[in-house]
Amino acid sequence: MASRGGFSNKLGFILAAAGSAVGLGNIWKFPFEVGNGGGAAFVLLYLSFCFILCFPVMITEIAIGRKTSLNPVGAFNALGFKNWNIVGKLGILCGVLILSFYNVVAGWAFGYFVEMVQGHFDIGQKFGGFISNIVKVGGYAVIFMFSTAFIVSKGVSGGIEKAAKILMPTLIIMILGLVAYAMTLPNATKGISFYLVPDFSEININVIGGALRQAFFSLSLGMGALITYGSYVGKDDNIVSSAAYITLMDVGIAFIAGLMIFPFVAFNLGGDMQQVTEPGFGGPGLIFVTLPSVFENIGGALGIIIGSLFFLLLSFAALTSTVSLLEVPVAYVVDEHKVNRNKAVWLVAGIIFILGIPSLLSGGYSEFFSNFSRIIGVPEVIDGDFLSFVAALADVLLLLGGCLIVFFAGHVWKKHNLDAEISQGFEGYEKSFVKKFLNFTITILSPIILAILFILVFFNNFIGIDIMSMIS
């Protein structure tokens, strides 16, 4: 076990796991999902899902990882349920899929940082040209994957934990500074009220499914990232309080990111927030198209500083997440195939980079990949390009994975075994309210709701059948 390495202490684990959670999901995806979902009603749903459904899944993942000290596939084997290692395999596949497109978007973020430093504010209007410039985006994607692999190759405490300890505090300071600045802009309050005042008439299956998918993606759940990180956690750490800190940090930063983005957007739209919910606005391009012109309006050196800081922030957030995404398949190859860490890292990173090439090409360079889901006949609910298709596919697989993981823990491995692991490092767990809450959520609530929503979202997004409207 010693050769696998581990986090040096509880704080190291919390920062690394929060680093995994906080990423493009919070700063790039969350705002446009809020826009698509009609604003504050989506935010409320998202918050409830995080605390009621996802928090128990997170505890379960960490506990399975710590109990077995293994990767997601090895963990199911070690618990004595070889048939269930398919859930771990699904998770690894999902991690590979996510990293393949995530690295591309992370490359855009880093590329925008480079453009901003040079004062190229017009990059927002040239977004389409930028993402179809294969040499540029390809180059940035190489740089990003290389940096990710470099950190992971340095090991758990010397690479992953060290990077998180530097990047996470820097990120928090940057984001708070940017929020403070955004609040001073004209029309900031209009942006904030769109973000925070709910209109419940906006809620439908797409919004509910979108909020749950967002919660899973943002918390890095459902694919064993936290089984893997959990496998490096000390036996006397309190899993429940660690999970609470990770969830709070992730939700907190997504929430704060909204407080930064919506005033920026409102400033740019002259306060007309209605435009945000209209089709065609927002989407994956929201921050890449809209924000540069905000920075342009700020103008001069200040515009350059704020713009560069923003995209640097986004790159840092993405880096601690790509690191966790790469660690999952790497841990699998190291544990199960006894390959040395360094070799495993560069091999896996190379393969995932190659798998990401269709996503790289889907920004306009290749006709086929840019219109992928339309060409293969997947319903228009998902954007046409390959990158969005893979992102949506991974999202629903996370729901399935999460559902199977809690079901497994509650009913196959059995809740009392899970409890025994959780109570290590948590004195008084057996008599606590937390135990009752987890009893209900892990054995009943989470598996049922996740199964239902997985089916609804899958049929709606991939088959084009809206079961909800058929029933009502």
Name the site residues for ligand PHE (rule: CB under 6 A). 20-21, 23-26, 98, 217-218, 220, 223, 225, 321, 324-325
C-beta of 151 vs 298, nearer to ligand PHE: 151
- In the bound state with ligand PHE, the residue whose beta carbon lies nearer, of 227 and 442, is 227
Minimum separation from the CB atom of position 464 to ligand PHE (A)? 26
| Packing angle, helices 134-153 and 300-337, rounded to 10 | 60
Q: Cβ 149 to ligand PHE, closest distance in Å?
A: 16
Shorter beta-carbon distance to ligand PHE: residue 218 or 290: 218
Looking at residue 121, the DSSP 8-state letter turns out to be: G
For ligand PHE, which is the closer residue by CB, 290 or 320? 320
| Side-chain-facing half-sphere of 340: CA atoms under 13 Å | 3
Q: Please say whether the beta carbons of 156 and 317 come within 8 A.
A: no
- Region class of 453: left (phi > 0), else alpha (psi between -120 and 50), else beta: alpha
Output the smallest distance, CB 3 to ligand PHE, in A.
24
Helix (H, G, I), strand (E, B) or coil at 273: coil
Find, among 153, 151, 155, 156, the residue nearest to 13 by Cα. 156
Residue 171, Cα to own-chain centre: how many angstroms? 16
Q: Decide if 188 contacts 182 (C-beta within 8 A).
A: yes
Q: How far is the CB of 324 from ligand PHE (least distance, A)?
A: 5
The C-alpha atoms of residue 466 and residue 189 are separated, in whole angstroms, by 36
Whole-number minimum distance, CB 470 to ligand PHE, in Å?
Answer: 31
* 58 vs 188, beta carbon nearer ligand PHE: 58
Q: What angle do CA 370, 396, 198 make, to 5 degrees?
A: 95
User: Please, which residue, 75 or 304, has the CB nearer to ligand PHE?
Assistant: 75
Kindly state the smallest distance separating residue 380's Cβ from ligand PHE, in Å.
Answer: 25
User: Based on CB atoms, which residue is closest to ligand PHE, 382 or 394?
Assistant: 394
Distance in angstroms (rounded) separating the CA atoms of residues 100 and 105: 10
Dig out the tokens for 410 from the structure: 């509650």
CB of 19 to ligand PHE, least distance (A): 9
Of 226, 97, 208, give the one whose Cα is nearest residue 455: 208
